[in-house]
Amino acid sequence: MIRPVGIHRHMHDSLLRAFYLQNPSQKKISKKFLYGKLLPVSSVTKFTSHHPFGWSDGALMPANGLQQLFNVGYYAKAGPLSMQVSPEIIWAANKTYERSDYYGAANPTKNYALFLPGQSFLKLEQGAFGLGVSTENIWWGPGHFSSLIMSNNAPGNFHASFHTARPAKTPIGKFEWQLIGGVLKDEPRQSDEIYGLKTFNDIFGVFEVNRKYLNAFSIVYQPSFLKNLSIGASRAFIGNISNVDSLSANDNKVRAFMPVFDKLFKSKLVNEDQRGWNQLISLSVKLSFPKAHAELYTEYGWNDHKANLRDLLMAPTHSAAYLVGAKKIVPLEKDRSLELIAEINQMEQSPDYLVRTAGNWYIHWFKTNYSNYGQVLGSGIGFGNNALNFSAMLRDRQNSIGVLFHKIQQDPNTKAVRWSDYAWGLQGRIGVPHFLFSYKLYGISSVNYAWMQDENRFNFVGTVGVSYLLK
């Protein structure tokens, strides 16, 4: 439930093994100590015909029209030290699209281009423990389509990390964790998912880059007496850089830079509201059934401190969001299998908001949006949205073909008109010697588009990727 998974010879993911370990491009300088290899050259092209759609796609932008992502890199390891240089280049036509008072940027930056360090890192790992600096995407939690706290929805951000390189074994079970401190940014002319794709400048009239500090921690426990059960907890704080600098100068520096280890209840803290933090916390559970090739999972979280234990018990759904899902693999003949996944994600406020509103997830204080380059770090289904997701995939080694379905309710409890998207898709992957092709094609029916009554629209979204494994 903490990803990415490190590259090592014991890894179980067959596709990763094919890419990283069995690739002829790997050049072993010393079998015991040092080796390096070129990473696959990858290209992803995405096109939307009417308006932005999609999530959990990394550096790809919430933009209309054509966009292109290019990635290449090199991985090297010397004893406990490993390094990966894997930059990403993104270009997007960022065409204007039909908008309303609630949705869409007035003047998106045309032909937007961005160079990012991408999936790069430098790590020192010995046994089960590791330290590193990285710009990789992180995924925390058991979700398949999305995650409440951390996913690959946004471009990876620069962060330092103290983590487990593999599960740490103890007499009571296995533990995994990751502690990070990092930097995020919002560009004033870039569409922001938290504000219905309006720009930071549209909302606040701000023209400078907004820089933020992120401190987050995730831990997972697998009991020795219940080996098929995984229990996780994640917590994240985000604050404006200038505010954090002020706190570090006038307050306890550990509390300024490591608030994830502070007390859980607000009543136990002094002047917490004046500190200007945006806090998120979640609990997750995954129950696996190895013989049945199945798993059940859930993640439940809150986007604000509870005042005390009484507040938690009296109003447990206040500021809450959740996801729940199930996965089943049906083995077929030879190496084929059928994979079925269903997942519900609710980001809408519960009816508790009628008594005490909490706002929607991922925003709390001014300039503390839980986002990077305008994209949410957690669930990218949309601001205050709910989603029903289903996929059925037929897999044959690294080849696959399947169908997808999404129903998305767009911010249903703050608008008089209900906007819903119904998306049917086809996705697959084709592997040939040295190449891996992938595709995801959607037809989307938007009912009451952009919260405009009886204004229905059709949107086509196509994503095609190709990776070349260098010789």
Q: Are 466 and 57 in contact (CB under 8 A)?
A: no
How far from chain centre, in Å, is Cα 286? 18
The count of domains in the chain is: 1
Strands 121-126 and 112-116: unpaired
Q: Are 88 and 70 in contact (CB under 8 A)?
A: yes
> Across the chain, how many H-helices and E-strands are there?
5, 28
Distance CA 109, CA 111 (A): 7
Q: Are 228 and 290 in contact (CB under 8 A)?
A: yes
Q: At a CB cut-off of 8 Å and minimum separation 6, what does 205 contact?
A: none
**Confidence at residue 66, expressed as pLDDT on a 0 to 100 scale:** 97
Beta bridge partners of 71: 42, 88
Instruction: Give pLDDT tens digits for 229-280.
Output: 999 999 999 998 888 877 777 777 777 889 999 888 877 776 666 677 889 9
Tokens of 77: 């390891």
**Confidence at residue 84, expressed as pLDDT on a 0 to 100 scale:** 95
Task: Provide the strand spans (E) within 147-277.
Answer: 159-164, 168-170, 173-186, 210-223, 229-240
Tokens of 229: 């059960």
Distance CA 95, CA 93 (A): 6
Distance CA 195, CA 363 (A): 10
Distance CA 26, CA 32 (A): 14
Residue ranges of the chain with per-residue pLDDT less than 70? 6-33, 270-274, 471
Distance CA 119, CA 8 (A): 17
| Maximum separation of any 2 CA atoms in the chain, in Å | 67
**Confidence at residue 415, expressed as pLDDT on a 0 to 100 scale:** 87
Phi and psi angles of residue 299, each rounded to the nearest 5 degrees, phi first:
-140, 130
Strands 81-85 and 74-78: antiparallel
Distance CA 445, CA 407 (A): 10
Q: At a CB cut-off of 8 Å and minimum separation 6, what does 379 contact?
A: 55, 143, 146, 147, 148, 151, 153, 321, 323, 345, 347, 361
Instruction: Give pLDDT tens digits for 22-75.
Output: 444 444 444 556 778 888 899 999 999 999 999 999 999 999 999 999 999 999
Tokens of 40: 């696959």
Which residue is listed with tokens 């398949």? Answer: 144
Count of CA atoms in the C-beta half-sphere (13 A) of 350: 14
**Confidence at residue 359, expressed as pLDDT on a 0 to 100 scale:** 80
Q: At a CB cut-off of 8 Å and minimum separation 6, what does 257 contact?
A: 181, 213, 215, 244, 248
The CATH number given to whatever domain includes residue 128 is 2.40.160.130
For 134, the 3-state DSSP assignment is strand
First to last CA, the chain: 33
Q: Are 410 and 451 in contact (CB under 8 A)?
A: yes
Q: Are 57 and 94 in contact (CB under 8 A)?
A: no
Tokens of 226: 């219940």
**Confidence at residue 8, expressed as pLDDT on a 0 to 100 scale:** 55
Q: Are 460 and 429 in contact (CB under 8 A)?
A: no
How many residues are recorded in the chain? 471
Domain that holds residue 69: 2-468
**Confidence at residue 397, expressed as pLDDT on a 0 to 100 scale:** 83
Tokens of 262: 């502070």
Distance CA 463, CA 435 (A): 17
**Confidence at residue 272, expressed as pLDDT on a 0 to 100 scale:** 67
**Confidence at residue 29, expressed as pLDDT on a 0 to 100 scale:** 46
